[in-house]
Each structure stands twice: as C-alpha cells, then as structure tokens.
Amino acid sequence: MKNYAKIPVAFDGGQVVEMAQQYQQTFSALNFAGIATADVVCLPGQYNQVGVFTVPAQEAVGWGVSQIINGGLTGDALYMAFYNALGVALEGTVRLIVEDANSNNPQTIGQFRTERLRADQNDRTKAILLQLDKRLAKQDSRLVIKFYPDSATSVTIMYNGTSTKIIAPVTIFQ
Amino acid sequence: MPTIVNEKLAGSGYNLFDFVAIGVNKRVTEALLQPVVGNGTLKSGLIKGAAGLGMEYFRPRGAGIINKELEWMEAGLIIDAVEDITLTFLGPNPLGTLMGQPNASSTEGFVFI
C-alpha cells in the first residue's frame, strides 16, 4: 500500500533524521524571548522584533495548525493584542516570520493588522484562522513576531500588561 | 420533471433525484451527529457506518416516502462514514500540494528553513 502519510525529514548535522510525530501547541507571549520578559520599545517607520522563538534540538516548528472541522480543512485562531503602559491598544501591522539562526532568509508567513488580530480569541468566525504553513523552522531557526506601529513616535508594548496577550497556534514536528 | 431526473442510472436502481436527496440527507445527518460523535474521525466514521448498516437490516421496506427517506438517510450515513474513515487514513488532502494547501500529515511541499 502506498504510504500517504509521509513523515517530515530534518537534516541534523548532515544526517537525515526522520521525524516520528507531530502535535499541535498553542504558544503564548511566554514562548517568545523578548516580549516574554521585558517591555518592547517599537520605533516608528520600521518593523520591530517583538518576540522570537528559537527551535530547540530535534524539533521542527511551523506557524499555524491545520485541523478538520465539520469535514473541512481549517486553521486555529491566532490572537495578538499589544497594549502600552496606559492600557491603550497599539495599532499597526504584525508580521509572522520564519528565519534561520543568522536571521538570514526571513520568510513572511503572514502580515496582519492589529485590529484583526484582536478581533476575538475564541470565535472562529471573527478570529484569523492560521493554517499550518509549509515553511517549517528547523533546529536553531526561529519564529519571529515583528510589529510596525502606526504611531509617528516610539511606542512601548508592556510585556506584563493585563491585556497584552499572544495566542499563536503552532505545529511541532519531532 | 425533466426526463433526466427520472432516468434510472445504469444498474444503480437510483435516479438522479435520489442522489440529490442522499446528498441533502448526508449534510443533515452529519450536522446532527457532529455534536454527539464528532466528525472526520475514525470513531465518528465507525459509529456512522454501524448506524447505516443497522438501518440496512432493520428499516422497513416499501414504497412510501418515509421508507424512501430512511433509505436516503442510510445511504448518506454510509457515505459519510466512508468519508470520515478515509479522512482518518489518507489525511485531509491525499493529493498533497496539488490542491494548494499543505497537509499536516504529509511532507508534500514542506520547506525547512
């Protein structure tokens, strides 16, 4: 019988390694170095790195989750809300990126407005449904969140603000 | 009714109207069962298949519209069961990247960065 469920293959030190399984995971702000532990100052007129997740050994990670609901292939809700110290929502454009360990070859997986990203955490009819992207970050490569603020002056994202929140579905291959 | 609707499809015993009715029944039973047994999983497929086979043995036979409806429902259940089971084993996208979306259970089209 033809094997339809092919298994991803990673290259570890020149050796081909079969990745045995996959599972879905929801990342929060705590998974992303930067926003996890400190406020992030975002300069105007450029994409600022908000958080970065470095893929640990023996894993490959991709943005998004693909799942079947009511017989149709769909994604999982992506939610991001950035607030400043005054509790005011920061507006701008957010990029989800996969890049290698040297920040070379960044691949933009998605680029979304903050208004849409804040729409709803759970309501699938309102939230951005992020499907698994085919570009996986292998070991030491990185998943990066970047933010381009609308503001003409610098803005600061409060990392421990009551409302600053990241809920990002990812798929882990191991 | 146009002739084509009443035309018996070769050997099947069903006409095109039956197929439309089966399609509608499949959608309705799928939606009704979704909260109870789920959808697109091996479990839901086996339960729907068992229900369909049970109907095959126990449903009343006859020419009435109720009997016909039960027959359509049975066919819809079995088709849905086969869909769920094939989904489980072949994945949502057995044709790989041909249909555009990468598949969580296939490396067709995956790129490592």
A21-173 CATH pick, 2.60.120.1170, 3.50.50.60, 3.40.30.10, 1.20.80.10: 2.60.120.1170
Splitting chain B (113 residues) into consecutive groups of 10 residues, what average pLDDT does each group show?
Answer: 52 80 93 87 92 91 86 93 86 54 52 81
Chain A CB contacts of B91 below 8 Å:
4-5
Predicted local distance difference test score (pLDDT) of residue A9? 61
In angstroms, the Cα distances linking B1 to B7, B19, B68, B113 are: 11, 15, 18, 59
Put simply, whether A130 touches B (Cβ < 8 Å) is: no
Enumerate the residues of chain B whose CB falls inside 8 A of the CB of residue A9: 107
| pLDDT tens digits for range A133-172 | 888 898 899 999 999 999 999 999 998 766 889 999 999 9
- Whether residue B104 and residue A60 make contact (CB cut-off 8 A), yes or no, is no
CA B75 to chain centre: 8
pLDDT score for A122: 87
Q: Say if the Cβ atoms of A8 and B107 lie within 8 Å.
A: yes
Among A12-21, A68-77, A95-104, B72-81, which is the least confidently predicted range?
Answer: A12-21
Mean pLDDT of A74-93: 91
Q: Write out chain B residues lying below 8 Å of A140, CB-based.
A: none
The pLDDT assigned to B98 comes to 45
Identity of the residue in A6, A73, A98 whose CB atom sits nearest the CB atom of B113: A98
Query: How far is Cα A82 from Cα A99, in angstroms, rounded to an integer?
Result: 23
Indicate yes or no: CB of A134 within 8 angstroms of CB of B94.
no
Instruction: Provide, as residue numbers in chain A, all residues whose Cβ is less than 8 Å from the Cβ of B106.
Output: 4-6
> In residues, how long is chain A?
174
DSSP annotation of A171 reads: E
Query: Which residues of chain A make contact with B90, given a CB cutoff of 8 A?
Result: 4-5
Chain-chain contact of A4 with B94 (C-beta, under 8 angstroms):
yes
The pLDDT value given to residue A70 = 67
Asked if the ipTM is above 0.85, the reply is no
**Which amino acid would we find at residue B7?**
E
- When CB atoms are compared, the residue of B30, B102, B106 closest to A71 is B30
Structural domain boundaries in chain A: 21-173
| Residue B1, pLDDT score | 45
pLDDT given for residue B88 in this prediction? 82
**Which residue from B108, B109, B113 is facing A137, i.e. has the nearest CB?**
B113
Q: What is the mean pLDDT of chain A?
A: 85
pLDDT tens figures, A95-127: 999 999 998 889 999 999 999 999 988 898 999
DSSP type of residue B63: S
Strands B111-112 and A135-136: parallel
In the predicted model, is pLDDT for residue A51 greater than 60? yes
Q: Which is nearest to A90 in space by CA: A120, A73, A125, A115?
A: A115
CB-closest option in A70, A73, A107 to B113: A107
